Chains A and B, each alone.
Chain A
Amino acid sequence: MQVGIISWGSYIPRFRIKVEDIAKANGSNPEQIKNALMISEKSLPGIDEDTITISVEAARQAIKNIDSKKIGAIYIGSESHPYAVKPTSTVVGEAIELGNNYTAADLEFACKAGTAGIQICLGLVKSGMMDMALTGGADTAQSKPGDPLEYTAAAGGAVFVIGKEDVVAVINETVSFTSDTPDFWRREKEEYPSHGGAFTGQPAYYRHVINATKNLMEKAKTRPENYDYAIFHQPNGKFPRRVAKILGFNEQQISPGLLVGYIGNTYSGASMLGLAAVLDIAKPGQRILVTSYGSGAGSDSFDITVTDKILFNQKRTKKVLDLIKDKIYVDYSKYLRNTQ
């Protein structure tokens, strides 16, 4: 039985702020920041948007032209669920008129909550427990003014429906690499996250992404050159490029899924939106590798093959590239107002 993605949907808020406007507010050198992080602007939510509204908009795109009443589960992953208790997933369920016959829960694992959701949905469908399951990753990331995270913390999300009929992208294999690594965290009642600075590099991001990817390729018996696309979690423009090089992937493979330069780090939405952007353009038969990363820490890696059913889906959903282009710039004061 072939199980995989049967449809997807994306949403990025319209507002953008340029890195140089944030740099000016902090009294920093804009060019220096842009070069260090390799990002030029990021997205931010409207004052009336949050992880729930983003998930709903993405989910509404994802259920176009599928029999959404067959969805048996909803799992939305985020670091910025509007409620600590009361799930995002049920609001999404109500907003897509799913009725009452489904299970749901919210997920949290820093930036990889969404991909963990994909694995859960795979299990539910593969085991025969249900025909379809919906998962998403979305965030309206918060950052303290003056903290380097301010340049990258962004807003956006993507939703995937996993199923076994009319599969547009078969998930051949998935492998994870997980450990207890305190690189980036936020305590229950704290407003902003804290992080270990340079510790977030080698022992955290690189260790998990590299191991997960290598283990996946071993299991799938593949090598980097077998893949048409490679998507890595993208906290900034430097990390994914560097890890791609280390693993043996080239600029052509990672470019279509590398969105951080234009929209920033959408946290739980990051790898998910990267994958969505690739699915928007992938051709039947092409092969995709995705490795997410969530602080705390873990990486989920996937080996995906696109089927010819993808062409129909590509016509009906809003493309990530169009969402990126549909933008309104705001200045720093409006940015603060919207994100407070």
Chain B
Amino acid sequence: MAVPKIWRKIPEYYNLIGKLCPECNAKFFPKRTVCKNCGCTRMQDYKFEGKGKIVTYTIIRTSMSDPEQEINEQAARNIPYALAIIKLKEGPMLTAQIIDCGDSELNIGKKVKKVFRKILENGPSGVIQYGYKFKIDK
């Protein structure tokens, strides 16, 4: 991602700061400027705790390596890695990796909590993007 883009996403990526609609109380992550529910445009910042459940998951096994240096980007992830849609405690769902677990530990419905990890490195000389991933909450 471009540098300004990375910087704009920091509150969402580091601290799960989404939005809350003051009219209908709907919560959104990532943030939205317009409430999907009622159309209100006076959205307020809302910090999600980072706890949730696995709604569905998969294990990505195809290589995301860039051997010909086509784009010079290193995904801070080694295949195989687990990807899941997680439903946060407060309601919204998001897509994220689940780390530090074996295949057998993954199950639909399992509780997870957020961790702070590298998401992407824009090559050896580029900026490092940090953000949210999740681990099984024992």
Contacts and interface: CB of A to CB of B under 8 A. Distances in A.
Interface of A: 14-15, 46-50, 52-53, 56-57, 60, 82-83, 91, 94-95, 97, 328, 337-338
A49 B10 contact: no
Given A49-B118, A53-B116, A328-B100, A97 B15 contact: yes
A339 to B, nearest CB: 12
B115 A95 contact: no
Nearest to A328: B100
Q: What range describes how many residues of B lie at the interface? A: 10 to 19
Interface string B97-138: 001101000000000000111110000000010100100000
Given A48-B76, A50-B118, 12 more contacts: A46-B99, A46-B117, A47-B78, A48-B117, A48-B118, A52-B128, A53-B117, A56-B116, A95-B14, A95-B15, A95-B130, A97-B15
Contact of B119 (A48, A56, A57): A48
Nearest to A86: B127
Nearest to A15: B100
B30 to A, nearest CB: 17
A301 B115 CA distance: 33
A264 to B, nearest CB: 18
Contacts of A338: 78
Contact of B99 (A48, A56, A60, A95): A48
Interface in B14-53: 14-15
B89 interface: no
B114 to A, nearest CB: 10
A60 B130 CA distance: 15
A142 to B, nearest CB: 14
Question: 10 closest Cβ contacts across the A-B interface?
Answer: A48-B76, A48-B117, A48-B118, A56-B116, A95-B14, A47-B78, A14-B100, A53-B116, A53-B117, A94-B14
